[in-house]
Structure 1
């Protein structure tokens, strides 16, 4: 018999396969189904949690800190936690930082998510690759390189975990698709 759960994020019913066990992420929206972000509703469980919180009101902060440390990622979010409190540090510099990041991403043509922490990434620049740095492969099927030199990559940086990633520039994407769609 399989256990049925409703994702708290997209409200989709998830049926667990008893052979593989419970899902850690929703297969529909990709959000976590456990950890500190999930709220579990239940009749008696909620009352026990309230009693536990009344006995030790600072326990939730310790649990939250353990979640940060246990996942192995320093996502930069600890710097926002005030000492001894569970609230974000709302000083002027952090508010200015968030405002600036929002304005920058609003102006970008594309705003990819960081593959490491899922924050929005900032466009850092364009890198041209050609000459001795790049030797295109000539495909026998195409009879020419799929991406000739020089090519351009758009670089992105995550303002939270500082992960970088790149993607082909829009003009190189169109060229690649045009060459791949070339009729034989």
Structure 2
């Protein structure tokens, strides 16, 4: 059987001869037959394009040009919100492009990301997040949950959290610092035994 190349992650997929090809990529879990390219021309004289005009243009052409079914439209609405909200609205940084050199900003972001050990993805816009620092959580600002199985708190303060900021939409996320992850694992294993 001839290998397939995933249009999303560019991975070469060699299918099992007995099972045959599937509808999704085993590497990135994206739909293989649903790959579409969306081309929007911006040849208008006026720079301020009304979002309603753009929606009407897309609605007129989506079924013919893009092959988007009603089910796919509903799924996109479920994922991205209302009809009027579009993907570019998730990248808040774009609104600062007139006053700042966003190309230099993107280069700096890439350089910082290259130095990071962990590079989580933003839950909101899927950009890679910058490690902004560590925040200490003390008993004063934290009420631990008590698990009956453990007969005590799941996570006992003080502990540290890694703070990540998204360079695209400026959302902030936290995760447990490495030492405290290990402490939590050991604590749960000991309590279980």
Question: What's the TM-score once normalised by structure 1's chain length?
Answer: 0.59
Unaligned segments of structure 1, at least 5 residues: 1-5, 16-24, 38-58, 83-88
Alignment of 1:34-45 (within 5 A): 34-36=35-37
Paired residues of 1:157 and 1:165 also in contact (CA < 8 A): yes
Offset of 1:127 from its aligned partner? 1.6
Q: Distance in 1 between matches of 2:154 and 2:25?
A: 37
Matched residue count: 139
Q: Structure 1's 35 and 76: CA in aligned 2 closer, same or farther, altered over 3 A?
A: farther
Q: Structure 1's 27 and 135: CA in aligned 2 closer, same or farther, altered over 3 A?
A: same
Alignment of 1:15-164 (within 5 A): 15=23, 28-31=27-30, 33-36=34-37, 60-61=40-41, 72-73=86-87, 74-76=89-91, 79=94, 93-164=101-172
Runs of 4+ in 1 over 3 A off after TM superposition: 10-15, 25-28, 30-37, 65-73, 77-80
Q: Structure 1's 60 and 26: CA in aligned 2 closer, same or farther, altered over 3 A?
A: same
Q: Structure 1's 78 and 138: CA in aligned 2 closer, same or farther, altered over 3 A?
A: closer
Paired residues of 1:7 and 1:14 also in contact (CA < 8 A): no
Q: Distance in 1 between matches of 2:90 and 2:137?
A: 31
Partner SS state of residue 61, structure 1: coil
Unaligned segments of structure 2, at least 5 residues: 14-20, 43-53, 59-79
Q: Structure 1's 128 and 77: CA in aligned 2 closer, same or farther, altered over 3 A?
A: closer
Alignment RMSD (CA, Å): 3.7
Question: What's the TM-score once normalised by structure 2's chain length?
Answer: 0.56
Offset of 1:175 from its aligned partner? 0.7
